[in-house]
Amino acid sequence: MTTTTRSAPDASDALAPETATAVKALTQEVLQSFDQAPARLRTLLQSLVGHLHTFVLDNDLTEAEWRYAIDFLTRAGHITSDTRQEFILLSDTLGVSSLLDLLTNSRTPESTPSAVLGPFYVEGPPNLPEGTDISGGHLDGDPVLANITVSDLQSRPIPDAVVDVWQANQDGFYDVQLPDLEGPVLRGRLRTDTKGRLSFWTILPAPYPIPDDGPVGQMLSAVGRHPMRAPHVHFMIAAPGKHTLVTQLFVEGGDYLDSDTVFGVKQAITVPFPVQNDPPPNGHVAPWRRLDFTFHLADQT
């Protein structure tokens, strides 16, 4: 295979000529060490090395600063568990998750906008019947009747689409953050009917802080950023022949819409949850709200 030739980053003018030469030679040597890798892996690793070396040079990074960075990542690894993903939080708060989301959504621009997955999705949520109350009917918060339709880009209904839904409680906690809970709460898997529709009850989502007792929270505190997310409900929707849609519906008028700590809010998925004046069905307590929304899925290509 032909050796890839890449330009090493330019050293700072403050570097002595012999040091600048050594820096360029070192970077080039590292870049060339990946020349035999498969094409996509080679591209990614060489780009990563080039950017990292440039970052070190541009910021005149010290060994103490680099050790702190390694310690930060080590602590993120230590706090990560089956129910806590600190690296996703880091990706989210640095805007990388939302950047990837924008790139992904740009490939299917006519579909409902996507949004970040977040760190609290759990594989294999419980299968729930039509009309179920994912809150269990006993949590604080305004009851919400969600009427959801799933269709293709031509507004044709998609039957038997798999719809995963999950959200935090009124205090800002997901069920996986509450070890004393018995079984999943405020999450489940439903399927659309022959007309692409489904409904379920939940509670009005509230703004909440991301877990800020670890390295990511310390980073936010150090730079004067708050850890709050705008109120939202998560959805993941899959159907044969369609792109799986991962998205969120944000509460119109909710707090932190303009400063969501993971940069996830989009206007097209910020929707009303209007208060209803008629008596709530199925024994729910007033006040109650509605959520009516149609998701549009793009074809796989």
- Enumerate the active-site residues: 174, 208, 229, 232, 234
The pair of three-digit structure tokens given for residue 116, joined into one six-digit string:
């970040």
Phi and psi torsions of 175, nearest 5°:
-60, -35
What is the token pair recorded at 166? 């999950």
**CA angle (126 as vertex; 135, 80 as ends), nearest 5:** 90
Residue 281: cis peptide before it, omega within 30 degrees of 0: no
* CA quadruple 209, 211, 213, 219: dihedral sign: negative
Q: How far from chain centre, in Å, is Cα 174?
A: 15
CA angle 16, 20, 25 (to 5 degrees): 150
Q: Which residues lie below 8 Å from residue 171, measured CB to CB, with a gap of 6+?
A: 140, 206, 208
Helix (H) or strand (E) holding 57: helix 39-58
Answer yes or no: are the C-beta atoms of 89 and 119 closer than 8 Å. yes
Indicate the SS3 state at residue 32: helix
Please state, in angstroms and rounded to a whole number, the distance separating the CA atoms of residues 234 and 164.
8
Q: In terms of DSSP bridges, do strands 270-271 and 245-251 run parallel, antiparallel, or are they unpaired?
A: parallel
